[in-house]
């Protein structure tokens, strides 16, 4: 199952664990047994340092997970607003077959355009339904949202819907760009560099100095103990690094393709 399979960060994580095992073995093999006495407080200091790093890593993970979860909620909202828009237009405006097809195409294209926009530069003619379109907008999702608004505005100008109904539809139309803007905020707002640098320096320094502080007390047990500590501390940090930008291609990122397919199938079913 997905809970017993290796995590997507397994390759980098096992490398860190292997490095910890090798390094602690070297420390155990060459640590001084005489002449240089180990201070009595060194083991307590090492444990205190590990506890502090654990708290910092936990805070880092929470911040990263909050970003991932907010992205999940935003794309869930996009699915709901897309369905509601199609349902309201179908029932309140009674569109013909051509209008239904155009609405389904634009709603689906907005989700696909947003997915690709969050992952890198995008041109309108790179989308399947717009290969022959001459328009070259800088921001493709907003261009498609504008076409959706124009479609709904045409229903109003042809007296297919009244002003109150137009306001109802406008709520869902505005929500599309609200979702887009919130996703861009997550993508374009990295965590503070100073905080990340301080945390990673602490992890590396703790990895380097902890074996020297504990080897005299733990002796050969320092090897599995350091490996386990690295597995969890470095594993949590690598996971946080993977999920803090939830719109990419990593195994821990959101499955945006699945959301786009859900919207495609829902709009096709509603507007059939």
In terms of Cα–Cα distance, which of 200, 217, 245 is closest to 67? 245
Task: Identify the pLDDT of residue 35.
Answer: 41
In terms of Cα–Cα distance, which of 168, 163, 106, 110 is closest to 139? 110
Encode pLDDT of 181-222 as tens digits: 999 999 998 877 777 777 777 778 777 777 777 777 777 787
CA dist., res. 216 & res. 27, Å (int): 10
Residue 17 has pLDDT above 80, yes or no: no
CA dist., res. 206 & res. 196, Å (int): 15
pLDDT band at 9 (very low <50, low <70, confident <90, very high): low
**Ranges 40-54, 91-105, 125-139, 185-199: which has the least confidence:** 40-54
With a pLDDT cut of 90, the percent of the chain lying above it is 48
Of 11 and 186, more confident: 186
CA dist., res. 132 & res. 109, Å (int): 14
Tokens of 264: 């495609």
Of 36 and 230, more confident: 230
- Average pLDDT along the chain: 85
Residue 270 has pLDDT above 50, yes or no: yes
Encode pLDDT of 230-253 as tens digits: 888 888 888 888 888 899 888 888
pLDDT band at 39 (very low <50, low <70, confident <90, very high): low
Angle at 40 between CA 37 and CA 46, to 5 degrees: 105
Cβ neighbors of 116 (< 8 A, separation 6 or more) are 122, 126, 127, 140
CA dist., res. 196 & res. 244, Å (int): 12
CA dist., res. 81 & res. 243, Å (int): 25
Q: Within a 10 A sphere around the Cβ of 251, how many other Cβ atoms? A: 12
> What integer is the mean pLDDT of 67-81?
96
């Amino acid at each position: 199952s997905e809970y017993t399979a290796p995590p997507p960060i397994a390759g980098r994580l096992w490398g860190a664990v292997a490095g910890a095992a090798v390094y602690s073995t070297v420390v155990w093999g060459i640590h001084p047994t005489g002449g240089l006495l180990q201070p009595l407080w060194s083991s307590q200091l090492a444990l205190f340092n590990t506890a502090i790093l654990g708290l910092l890593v936990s805070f880092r993970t929470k911040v990263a997970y909050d970003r991932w979860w907010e992205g999940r909620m935003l794309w869930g909202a996009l699915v709901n607003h897309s369905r509601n828009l199609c349902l309201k237009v179908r029932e309140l405006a009674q569109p013909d077959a051509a209008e239904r097809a155009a609405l389904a195409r634009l709603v689906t294209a907005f989700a696909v355009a947003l997915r690709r926009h969050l992952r890198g530069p995008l041109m309108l003619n790179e989308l399947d339904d717009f290969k022959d379109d001459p328009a070259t907008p800088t921001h493709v999702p907003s261009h498609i949202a504008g076409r959706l608004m124009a479609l709904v505005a045409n229903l109003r100008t042809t007296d297919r819907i009244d002003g109150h109904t137009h306001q109802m539809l406008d709520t869902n139309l505005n929500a599309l760009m609200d979702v887009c803007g919130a996703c861009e905020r997550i993508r374009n707002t990295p965590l503070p560099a100073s905080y990340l640098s301080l945390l990673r320096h602490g992890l590396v320094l703790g990895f380097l100095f902890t074996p020297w502080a504990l080897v005299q007390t733990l002796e050969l047990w320092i090897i599995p103990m350091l490996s386990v500590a690295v597995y969890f501390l470095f594993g949590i940090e690598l996971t946080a690094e993977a999920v803090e930008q939830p719109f990419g291609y990593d195994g821990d990122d959101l499955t945006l393709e699945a959301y786009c397919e859900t919207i495609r199938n829902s709009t096709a079913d509603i507007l059939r």
